[in-house]
Amino acid sequence: MLQLILLTVSGAVLPPLVRLAAGMMVPHAMSTFGTVVAGVGTLHAPLIDGGCAALLQASSAALSSGLASVVGGIAGAVLGLR
């Protein structure tokens, strides 16, 4: 029973933590892999081309929803029942 609870909580908590980590890495990835243009911002490879900064931005946005935590919690519970 404890394993079920731990996996459920872990699954619900990990998506927001990964979102925060991805969001914090975006500026570094943009300055490393992008080109800074004064007055415009940073130009970097788009998500479709596998751009690192774009992938981090998309991951951060996708994991910001409450649904990500719900799905993570359900996945953890299913793993705990196995």
Give, for all 82 residues of the chain, the pLDDT tens digit. 888 888 888 889 989 999 999 999 988 988 888 888 888 888 888 888 888 888 888 988 888 888 888 888 899 888 888 7
- Residue 63 in any domain: the answer is yes
- Residue 61 in any domain: the answer is yes
Using N-to-C axis directions, what is the helix angle for 66-81 and 2-33, rounded to 10°?
140
| Residue 3 confidence (pLDDT) | 86
Domain that holds residue 16: 1-22+52-82
- Residue 16 in any domain: the answer is yes
pTM, rounded to two decimals: 0.71
- Residue 27 in any domain: the answer is no
| Residue 62 confidence (pLDDT) | 87
Q: Is the dihedral of CA 21, 54, 64, 18 positive or negative?
A: negative
- Residue 82 in any domain: the answer is yes
b/e map 52-65, b = 16+ CB within 10 Å: bbbbbbebbeebbe
| Residue 25 confidence (pLDDT) | 92
**Cβ proximity of 42 and 35 under 8 Å:** yes
| Residue 24 confidence (pLDDT) | 93
